[in-house]
A and B are shown apart, each in its own frame.
Chain A
Amino acid sequence: AQKITQTQPGMFVQEKEAVTLDCTYDTSDQSYGLFWYKQPSSGEMIFLIYQGSYDEQNATEGRYSLNFQKARKSANLVISASQLGDSAMYFCAIGGKLIFGQGTELSVKP
């Protein structure tokens, strides 16, 4: 069985600063994909970034980067230069059929 653990229920960050959201995973699969989604208060799930287990480079998408440490089974999301619009729930997932963590609520302070 696969499992995602997000240990930070809530995080605060000052506008324009960087923030790291933690994610650890458990899987017995040799090949897997890791995803991060953003869910604003409006409820839609927005895809942010993907990392394949065999990718040698850490994934980056604009202000989002994924700090992938395979040996530690961690896939932390780094958001650089935080903006007020980044305030939302953030979910880490592994899949296929996606298995989500409990999420981290990020609040960006002006």
Chain B
Amino acid sequence: GAGVSQTPSNKVTEKGKYVELRCDPISGHTALYWYRQSLGQGPEFLIYFQGTGAADDSGLPNDRFFAVRPEGSVSTLKIQRTERGDSAVYLCASSSTGGTYNEQFFGPGTRLTVL
């Protein structure tokens, strides 16, 4: 079956603009995660959805970041008033049920560049 997909693959924007990043998880996976990976670093957790609800949003850096998953499938990460420090690769992952014991399958990422 299809893996996790993310669109766009690359996004270049100007400082202060609004961006939306989309994630389409593996069909049937109830858990969805967003991570951010800066150059030379490991991914950092942002937010975790179980179904439609955000079960853990403790990794969102500030209130400019927001994510939704209205129908329990596709998720959108929204960043308002982008800053140059937001430049990174944004990774989405899904797993069958979430929790400690399920491997997560990652998408190819969206590379965000804020000029």
A residues at B contact (CB < 8 Å): 4, 31-33, 35, 37, 43-47, 50, 52, 91, 93, 95-103
Contacts and interface: CB of A to CB of B under 8 A. Distances in A.
A29 to B, nearest CB: 8
Contacts, number: 58
Interface of B: 33, 35, 41-45, 48, 56, 58-59, 89, 91, 93, 99-101, 103-109
Given A45-B91, A97-B56, A32 B100 contact: yes
A94 to B, nearest CB: 9
A45 B106 contact: yes
15 contacts: A33-B101, A35-B104, A44-B107, A45-B43, A47-B104, A47-B105, A50-B101, A96-B100, A97-B48, A97-B59, A98-B35, A98-B43, A98-B45, A102-B41, A102-B42
Interface of chain A, helix or strand or loop or mixed? strand
B44 A100 contact: yes
Nearest to A37: B106
A33 B104 CA distance: 12
Contacts of B45: 95, 97-99
Nearest to A29: B100
A100 B43 contact: yes
Given A33-B101, A96-B100, A44 B106 contact: yes
Closest 5 CB pairs of A and B: A100-B42, A45-B106, A33-B100, A97-B45, A47-B103
B35, B91, B104, B105 interface centre (most CB from chain A within 10 Å): B104
